[in-house]
Amino acid sequence: MSTFVYMTRCDGCGHCVDICPSDIMHIDENIRRAKNIEPNFCWECYSCVKACPNHAIDVRGYADFAPMGHSVRVRREEEKGTISWKIKFRNGTTKDFVSPITTKPWGKFIPKLADGDKPNQGEINSQRLYTEPEGLNIDGELPVVPKESFKKGVYY
């Protein structure tokens, strides 16, 4: 249920690395192609699938709307401003949808990231997200839950 990359189609351009909200699309250190480093953390948001200019990324869709053995693929045509979807069921039935692209230009709207400062290398390497903790309207440090207070056992 997560994204995967067709290595023969990927050219390592970095669009999926750039857009992934979960920061799990990375460049493979051996072959310089994109890969999903942590499939468990994939949101299945299809951002990388839509952003890929070579249609090199695929994802298995949710089982509740398309049972196993199906395919859900996307074609993004920026010049037309359209996103087309094709859902193919395992019995051969296909459904095609076309929608307008409603994406806003990077950082121009909320929270106006384009006007903000560029992060330095130290901030990029840190565990904190951009503008934390000020961006969360928190004065001082981020709240911490002491490890001793954790319940023992397995969390679900």
Partner 1 sequence: MLETNPFSILAETVSPFAMQSFIIAMIVLIALGTIIQMIHHKNLTYFLNNAKKAKLQATREIGTGERVSILAKTTVVDIGTTAELGFGKRRLSHVLGMYGTIIFWISSAMLVFCYTGADKSSSTIWSMLWHVGAILTCIGGYWFWFFLRVDVSAEAHPWYRIIKADLFVLALLACSTFGLAWSYAQFNGQDGLSFLFLTLFVTSNLILFGGVYWSKFAHMFYKPGAAIQKNLAEADGSRDNLPPPADAPEQFGLGIKREEPKHY
Q: Which residues bind partner 1 (CB under 8 A)?
A: 8-9, 11-15, 17-19, 26-32, 53-55, 71, 73-75, 77-86, 88, 96-107, 113, 119, 121, 124
CB of 148 to partner 1, least distance (A): 36
User: Catalytic site residue 43?
Assistant: yes
Residue with smaller CB distance to partner 1, 42 or 74: 74
Residue with smaller CB distance to partner 1, 53 or 111: 53
> In Å, how far are 23, 58, 62, 65 from 87, measured between CA atoms?
26, 12, 11, 10
Contacts of residue 107, Cβ cutoff 8 Å, sequence gap at least 6: 113, 114, 115, 116
Among candidate residues 6, 43, 62, 106, the one labeled active-site is 43
Question: Pick from 86, 42, 45, 38: which is nearest to 66 by CA?
Answer: 86
Show which residues are catalytic: 43
